[in-house]
Structures are given as structure tokens and as C-alpha cells.
Amino acid sequence: MDSLGLIGAVSIFTAGLTIAIGSIGPALGEARTAAQALSAIAQQPDEANTITRTLFVSLAMIESTAIYCFVISMILLFANPFWDQVIAQSAR
């Protein structure tokens, strides 16, 4: 396997690992947040609007972590700076 193939294989593996690990944390965090919000609404139904608004803001912030992992994996797959370096070195 040449250098370009090795970098491609490692990039694909790393992108998959980034998505796998990077989506577990936000998924667990969103589930826990939703469970706590439902518990809070059950205890204080009058504050449901405030709790729901805070819940949606929190879920958006938690989801941004998974989106960042997705962006990093897309960079590794489609805009990998290491490929350009290897191609430049092999052209010499």
C-alpha cells in the first residue's frame, strides 16, 4: 500500500471513529436532558413553557457537539490536507 492509500484508509477509519464516538455523548446527553425536563414538568406543570424553552436551547447546544464531529469527519474525508502534501512529495 502506497502513502496515499494509507492516508486514505486512516482518514476513513478516523472519520468513522469520530462519528461513532462523537454521537454517543450527545445522544446520551439529549436523553438525560429530555428525561430531566419531563420530570421537572411533571413536578411543576405551571412552569412547562419555561422548562420547554430551556430544554430546546439545551438540546441545540448538545446537538452542536455532534455536528462539530460530523464537520471534522467531512474534512477528513473530502478536504484532507495530508493528501495534498503526499501528492506534492510524490511529484518530486
The DSSP secondary-structure symbol of 2 reads: -
Quickly name the fold that domain 3-85 has. Answer: F1FO ATP Synthase (1.20.20)
Q: Give 35-57 pLDDT, tens digit per residue.
A: 999 999 999 999 999 999 999 99
Grouping H, G, I as helix, E, B as strand and the rest as coil, residue 80 is coil
* Domain locations in the chain as residue ranges: 3-85
pLDDT value at residue 68: 94
3-state secondary structure of 17: helix
Other CB atoms closer than 10 Å to residue 18's CB: what's the count? 19
What is the pLDDT at residue 41? 95
* Residue 27: predicted pLDDT: 93
pLDDT confidence of residue 15: 92
Instruction: Report percent pLDDT > 90 for the chain.
Output: 67
Q: Average pLDDT in the 9-32 region?
A: 92
